[in-house]
């Protein structure tokens, strides 16, 4: 629809849009009835209850954070957990979001009154593409992360193309400063290239990834659980135990971390603590059959 508005005549082409709206409506209905399954999965796999952020928080934070990651991707993480902002930072993010929406509305009005240039039509389309693509993740069902990089993989294309179009337009308009634009462009490429190399090093293996991730998202319980596994493989059991306990402090019903903590205690010969944490894992995660099995094996060896 954004494409028809930007580059075509809506009155003449609206009928062509009907099949796409019907397909979208069908897709929405199919997934709407799967919301309960998603909620159950969140609780069972991540031990998180369904709780949606207020739209006045989620929308400006999500949109502005995606813009931040697109223009300078320095806080990349599989789990974006650090959604804590001062009032000043929140209002700054709110203002950025309002500005983006204002540009879309402004170009839309110019298109309606037929005074929009080709550049303005293209900017409208690609910024709308960005918003429309991330829109499903902004719905207040409480079943999605406030920010997740994977949500913006496709949407980021809209921002990148808009930036390139605007850059090209300014370059053409201020031709006498063309060398400056080339210099700035080269600096941007070098900076993002260096950031890409650094991030690739983070992905060298699972251990380097989680060590890098905890610096960006220190309040992620899954991250500390994975670090506990890493230190366990390195036979640094004190650090492993500390990481599992940190995960449990962050997410008190995190049965997976309790099970892993029990495994670690069992490995170092602390049977009493192993029994306690297996029992805790069963209490909070009755689906963890491994805890029942390991606890049964301990009792068998103890002749209980």
96 vs 114: CA distance, rounded Å: 27
164 vs 140: CA distance, rounded Å: 32
Of 227, 249, 256, whose CA–CA distance to 240 is shortest? 227
- What CATH number matches the domain at 220-301, 1.10.20.10, 3.40.50.1390, 3.30.300.100, 1.25.40.10? 1.25.40.10
Taking only Cα atoms into account, the Rg of the chain, rounded to an integer number of angstroms, comes to 25
What pLDDT score does 235 carry? 96
**Half-sphere exposure (Cβ direction) of 300: Cα atoms closer than 13 Å:** 6
Cα–Cα distance list, 25 to 15, 19, 32, 231 (Å): 16, 10, 10, 48
> Which DSSP category does 8 fall into?
S
260 vs 266: CA distance, rounded Å: 10
What pLDDT score does 43 carry? 63
132 vs 180: CA distance, rounded Å: 34
**Tens place of pLDDT for every residue, the chain, 304 residues?**
555 555 565 566 666 667 766 887 777 777 666 666 665 666 666 666 656 678 889 999 999 999 999 999 988 988 888 888 999 999 999 999 999 999 999 999 999 888 888 999 999 999 999 999 999 888 766 667 789 899 999 999 999 999 999 988 888 777 677 788 888 889 999 999 999 999 999 999 999 999 999 999 999 999 999 999 999 999 999 999 999 999 999 999 999 999 999 999 999 999 999 999 999 999 999 999 999 999 999 999 987 6
Task: Write down the domain spans for the chain.
Answer: 52-202, 220-301
174 vs 169: CA distance, rounded Å: 9
The whole model's pTM is what? 0.82
200 vs 189: CA distance, rounded Å: 16
> Which DSSP category does 54 fall into?
P
222 vs 237: CA distance, rounded Å: 18
Q: How do residues 45-76 score in pLDDT, each as one tens digit? A: 666 665 667 888 999 999 999 999 999 998 89
């Amino acid at each position: 629809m954004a494409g028809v508005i930007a580059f075509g005549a809506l009155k003449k082409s609206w009928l062509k849009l009907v099949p796409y709206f019907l397909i979208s409506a069908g897709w929405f209905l199919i997934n709407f009835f799967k919301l309960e399954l998603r909620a159950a999965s969140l609780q069972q796999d991540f031990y998180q209850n369904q709780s949606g952020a207020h739209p006045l928080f989620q929308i400006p934070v999500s949109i502005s954070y995606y813009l931040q990651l697109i223009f300078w991707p320095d806080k990349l993480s599989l789990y974006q957990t650090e959604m804590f902002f001062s009032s000043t930072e929140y209002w700054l993010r709110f203002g950025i979001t309002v500005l983006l929406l204002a540009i879309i509305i402004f170009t839309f009005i110019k298109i309606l009154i037929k005074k929009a240039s080709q550049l303005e039509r293209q900017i409208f389309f690609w910024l709308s593409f960005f918003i429309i693509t991330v829109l499903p993740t902004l719905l207040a069902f409480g079943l999605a992360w406030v920010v997740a990089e994977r949500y913006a993989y496709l949407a980021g294309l809209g921002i990148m193309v808009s930036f390139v179009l605007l850059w090209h337009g300014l370059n053409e308009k201020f031709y006498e400063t063309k060398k400056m634009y080339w210099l700035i462009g080269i600096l941007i490429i070098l900076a993002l290239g260096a950031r890409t190399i650094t991030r690739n090093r983070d992905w060298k293996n699972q251990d380097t990834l989680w060590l890098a991730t905890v610096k960006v998202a220190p309040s992620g319980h899954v991250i500390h659980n994975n670090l506990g596994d890493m230190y366990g493989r390195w036979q640094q059991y004190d650090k492993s135990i500390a990481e599992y306990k940190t995960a449990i402090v962050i997410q008190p019903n995190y049965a997976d971390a309790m099970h892993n903590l029990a495994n670690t205690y069992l490995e170092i010969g602390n049977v009493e603590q192993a029994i306690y944490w297996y029992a805790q894992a069963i209490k909070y995660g009755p689906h963890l059959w491994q805890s029942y099995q390991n606890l049964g094996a301990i009792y068998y060896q103890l002749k209980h």
